[in-house]
Amino acid sequence: MAKGPELRDPRTLYSQPPFSQQEQSEPGLAQDMKPLPDHGEESYKGSGRLEGRRALITGGDSGIGRAVAIAYAREGAEVCINYLPTEEPDADQVSTLLKDERRTLHRMPGDVSEEKVARKLVTDAADKMGGLDILVINAGKQVTQPDVTRISSEQFDQTMKVNVYAMFWMTQEALEIMPPGGSIINVTSIQGYRPSPQILDYATTKFAIRGFTEGLAPMALERGIRVNAVAPGPFWTALQPSHGQPMEKVEHFGEGAPMGRPGQPAEIASAFVYLASNEASYTVGEILAVTGGKPTS
């Protein structure tokens, strides 16, 4: 009998807090984090589950988006990643990794908080790949504030545009392009169930994403397109040290989860593979929670 992967205690599988204080300017870079996040660069092994598919992933340069891009490419998909121009150094790393593996990756920088950019991103990705089968709307903005009175109208507006408006604009475009069997996967959060006061605007958008996903799913299904979402718990991404959390919380990030540590992006990628694959053909309007044991109800 072939020997399978070694069993490991999930509580000690990755680094546990406390971490060092490591403030970055927004939106942050994964390559400057300590410890470095694991996006599955060494661990994710594909098995052809998405062979021939064409996927667009926003926020694909780092964090959860990078982990999904790596997983999709290794499952046989052609992949476009979107990211902010300032995140080019992280996008370089993804591109180099997959180019060395002879995977097809297209880089499409742009700010999805701008309507023209968000809409054109979808149509340009479809033109580049000859179609679009999978859309992962992952890019997010999160800026901590000590009190709701400290959230400026500018911050609130920008958070809504990146997290909610972009989803709306891109979904409209995708539904006109995607064939039956296509899949739209949104990214909500544990914050969409249990909001933290210091990121109240961000949490509000995650509630909105939940509602949008559940409401859109039966409508999109009339076109043969499945809509679902993933709800991450505390994950170790560049969002956290780039003003997504106060520095004292970055030090102890994930400590309050039953797992006792934050999740690594590599630990959630397979959820996105499942939702995009034929194995999830009867999964519609679901929110798949990956929270390290944190309850969503």
Give the pLDDT band (50/70/90) at residue 183. Answer: very high
Instruction: Return the DSSP state at 246.
Output: -
Is the Cβ–Cβ distance between 148 and 197 less than 8 Å? yes
CB atoms within 10 A of CB 215: 12
CATH number of the 48-290 domain: 3.40.50.720
Torsion region of 56: left, alpha or beta (phi above 0 gives left; psi -120 to 50 gives alpha): beta
Q: What sections of the chain are H helices per DSSP?
A: 63-74, 88-100, 115-129, 153-160, 166-177, 200-221, 247-251, 269-276
Is the Cβ–Cβ distance between 132 and 183 less than 8 Å? no
What is the per-residue pLDDT across 208-224, written as a single tens digit (0 to 9) for each?
999 999 999 999 999 99
Count CA atoms within 13 Å of residue 294 on its CB side: 26
Query: At 42, is the secondary structure helix, strand, or coil?
Result: coil
Give the pLDDT band (50/70/90) at residue 297. Answer: confident
Give mean pLDDT, residues 146-165: 97
Is the Cβ–Cβ distance between 225 and 184 less than 8 Å? yes
Catalytic site positions: 202
Please give the pLDDT value at position 5: 77
Helix, strand, coil tally for the chain in percent (to 5): 45, 15, 45
Please give the pLDDT value at position 268: 98
Give the separation between CA 198 and CA 143, rounded to whole angstroms: 9
Give the separation between CA 150 and CA 29, rounded to whole angstroms: 25
Please give the pLDDT value at position 216: 98
Give the separation between CA 265 and CA 244, rounded to whole angstroms: 16
Instruction: Report the greatest alpha carbon distance in the chain.
Output: 62
What is the per-residue pLDDT across 52-64, written as a single tens digit (0 to 9) for each?
999 999 999 999 9
Give the separation between CA 269 and CA 289, rounded to whole angstroms: 12
Please give the pLDDT value at position 2: 65
Give the separation between CA 66 and CA 70, rounded to whole angstroms: 6
CA angle 261–158–291, rounded 5-degree value: 20
Looking at the predicted structure, is the pLDDT value of residue 6 above 90? no
Domain boundaries, the chain: 48-290
What is the per-residue pLDDT across 92-151, written as a single tens digit (0 to 9) for each?
999 999 999 999 999 999 999 999 999 999 999 999 999 999 999 999 999 999 999 999
What is the per-residue pLDDT across 7-35, written as a single tens digit (0 to 9) for each?
999 999 999 999 998 999 999 999 999 99
CA 125 to chain CA centroid, Å, is 18
What is the per-residue pLDDT across 256-277, written as a single tens digit (0 to 9) for each?
999 999 999 999 999 999 999 9
